[in-house]
């Protein structure tokens, strides 16, 4: 049995004017690890996150079943929150992390005592479906109407990011900004957006969906240099899994050999439990060898 936990999404899913913020997740199994090893590696990061969340979410919003479409429609921050919860469920709360001081004449390595629980922000009270903000340029006042970037936007941007990284940012703005109006022209939509939109909107979107971008504010213990670094949950988690899943086949073989469980039984077991069985088996075999 793989018990699911229920969490509250920071932004949530809007259906007919109602915001649904509940989601349930189960931890990874060997089958999910195998999927990541065989299929996941070839997918861009955003697509890999969609695929993994669609597998591990047991409930999402108002629908009966969890679809990839629904996972794509989640904001970047909701997807980040779900990944952090999934990481904690599967590999625990602690996130061992080593960083180097960016000062060229220092470069001191530091161990960070990061925890999933510290990176998860408390869900804000005022989740909104649509956002708007005021901008000024050359003495003209504008209003910008926008929505938050979703998984679908991240997937679309991923296609551009490799070949034309500068276009990826434009693409995201083009998809998420719904309308720009000028207040001196009867609030009519303007075709040519002021350049302030591209300058300010990314930061405003990040402010409305703070879980989407995790910035660590750090200070080097050696030289005292203050700096910030982005924590990318997807890269971190997938790299960890690539390491811990390396011996999946041997692990399945060992458990099948000693416990006579079927491959399917072992693969559908939560990964954490599989590792506990392997640990116990290792101890038993070690004791037998010592006798």
* Residue of 207, 222, 279, 283 that binds Zn ion (CB under 5 A): 222
Cα separation, 79 vs 81, in Å, equals 5
Cα separation, 48 vs 267, in Å, equals 20
Q: Which is nearer to Zn ion, 117 or 219 (CB)?
A: 219
Q: What is the residue whose two structure tokens read 């930061």?
A: 203
Q: Which is nearer to Zn ion, 99 or 196 (CB)?
A: 99
Is residue 182 within a helix (H) or strand (E), and if so which, with residue range?
Answer: strand 177-182
Is residue 217 within a helix (H) or strand (E), and if so which, with residue range?
Answer: strand 214-219
Task: Give yes or no for residue 225 binding Zn ion (CB under 5 A).
Answer: yes
Task: Give yes or no for residue 83 binding Zn ion (CB under 5 A).
Answer: no
State the number of binding residues for Zn ion (CB under 5 A). Answer: 8
Task: Give yes or no for residue 223 binding Zn ion (CB under 5 A).
Answer: yes
Task: Give yes or no for residue 101 binding Zn ion (CB under 5 A).
Answer: yes
CB of 239 to Zn ion, least distance (A): 24
Task: Give yes or no for residue 106 binding Zn ion (CB under 5 A).
Answer: yes
* Residue of 220, 241, 248, 269 that binds Zn ion (CB under 5 A): 220
Alpha-carbon distance values, 52 to 34, 67, 120, 122, 255 (Å): 11, 11, 19, 23, 25
Task: Give yes or no for residue 218 binding Zn ion (CB under 5 A).
Answer: no
Cα separation, 148 vs 125, in Å, equals 16
Cα separation, 40 vs 137, in Å, equals 45
Window contacting Zn ion (CB under 5 A); options: 29-37, 60-68, 90-98, 218-226 = 218-226
Specify the pairing of strand 188-189 against strand 140-146. Answer: unpaired
The contact set with Zn ion (CB under 5 A) reads: 101, 103, 106, 108, 220, 222-223, 225
């Amino acid at each position: 049995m793989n018990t699911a936990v229920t969490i509250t999404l920071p932004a949530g899913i809007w259906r007919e004017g109602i915001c649904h913020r509940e989601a349930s997740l189960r931890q990874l199994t060997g089958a999910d690890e195998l999927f990541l090893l065989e299929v996941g590696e070839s997918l861009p990061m955003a697509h890999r996150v969609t695929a993994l969340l669609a597998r591990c979410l047991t409930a999402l919003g108002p629908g009966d079943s969890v679809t990839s479409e629904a996972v794509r429609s989640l904001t970047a921050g909701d997807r980040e929150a779900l990944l952090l919860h999934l990481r904690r469920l599967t590999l625990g709360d602690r996130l061992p992390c080593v960083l180097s001081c960016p000062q060229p004449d220092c470069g001191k390595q530091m161990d960070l005592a990061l925890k999933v629980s510290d990176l998860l922000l408390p869900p804000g009270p005022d989740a909104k479906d649509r956002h708007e903000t005021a901008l000024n340029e050359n003495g003209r006042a504008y209003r910008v109407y926008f929505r938050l970037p979703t998984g679908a936007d991240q997937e679309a941007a991923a296609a551009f990011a490799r070949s034309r990284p500068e276009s990826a940012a434009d693409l995201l703005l083009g998809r998420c900004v719904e309308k720009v109006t000028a207040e001196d022209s009867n609030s009519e939509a303007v075709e040519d957006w002021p350049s302030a939109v591209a300058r300010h909107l990314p930061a405003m979107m990040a402010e409305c969906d703070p879980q989407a971008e995790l910035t660590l504010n750090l200070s080097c213990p050696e030289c005292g240099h203050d700096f910030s670094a982005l924590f990318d949950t997807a890269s971190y988690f997938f790299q960890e899994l690539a390491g811990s899943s390396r011996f999946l086949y041997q692990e399945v073989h060992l458990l099948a050999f000693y416990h006579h469980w079927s491959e399917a039984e072992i693969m559908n077991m939560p990964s954490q439990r599989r590792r506990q069985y392997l640990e116990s088996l290792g101890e038993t075999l070690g004791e037998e060898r010592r006798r």
